[in-house]
Amino acid sequence: MQSKEHWEKVYETKAPDAVSWFQPHAQVSLDLIKATGAGLDAGIIDVGGGASTLVDDLLAEGYTDLTVLDLSAAALHAARQRLGERERQVRWIAADITTVELPEARYDIWHDRAVFHFLAEPQDREAYVRTVFRSVKPGGYVIVSTFAEDGPAQCSGLPVMRYSADELHDEFGESFTLLQHRKETHHTPAGAVQQFVYCYCRRASS
């Protein structure tokens, strides 16, 4: 719960566009989601979505089955406020991804930017991957982004794990094929530069 308190405080005290991970548009994520070729009715979950603008852009693209999950209710509140009426088109789940029970074979696309890298304990990463297995449909897509090997050692004042594309893919195992990986240079609102890596994987269809 220490972690929940941390994140609630962050979103209660900082404007959504002032946090270091803010992006006016999550362009790499959007490009990879579109690259799946999934229809506009695809089930998409943004895990640890916080107050990210990704959901705004997915709604604008016409996607109709969107879920945003985050540990922080304050983060989800900020996103819902920003969306206004459109917030009703999205499912919002305030939960810890290492303990939540998501529906089985529910999602076509799992997206996570800058959440997996906080999971320092192997048992938390294993719990996360078990949830991916449970809730992503066979043949579904998993897009996970963390700090890269040459990224910062901390995010939001918390220590993080850094990954190469192969190391990140290894966390998910052979049932996930690495279709593509990308590096991204992120410029924080305060002017710092951070290297991210994105893994774009497909779950085996059986």
The neighbour count for residue 60, using CB atoms within 10 Å, is 10
Residue found under tokens 């290894």: 170
Chain positions 145 to 174 lying near ligand SAM, rule: CB under 6 A, are: 155-156
Q: Which stretch, 33-41, 85-93, 95-103, 190-198, contacts ligand SAM (CB under 6 A)? A: 95-103
Q: Of 14 and 137, which has the nearer Cβ to ligand SAM?
A: 14
The neighbour count for residue 178, using CB atoms within 10 Å, is 16
d(CA 193, CA 186): 6
Q: Does 49 bind ligand SAM (CB under 6 A)?
A: yes
Is the CB of residue 116 less than 8 Å from the CB of residue 149? no
Among 110, 118, 141, 200, binds ligand SAM (CB under 6 A): 118
Chain positions 52 to 71 lying near ligand SAM, rule: CB under 6 A, are: 52, 70-71
Q: Of 81 and 177, which has the nearer Cβ to ligand SAM?
A: 81
Q: Retrieve residue 3's tokens.
A: 């972690």
Q: Does 75 bind ligand SAM (CB under 6 A)?
A: yes
Instruction: Tell me how many residues contact ligand SAM (CB under 6 A).
Output: 20
Q: How is 92-132 classified by DSSP, letter by letter?
A: EEE--TTT--PPTT-EEEEEEESSGGG--SHHHHHHHHHHH
* List of residues contacting ligand SAM (CB under 6 A): 3, 7, 21, 48-50, 52, 70-72, 75, 96-98, 113-115, 118, 155-156
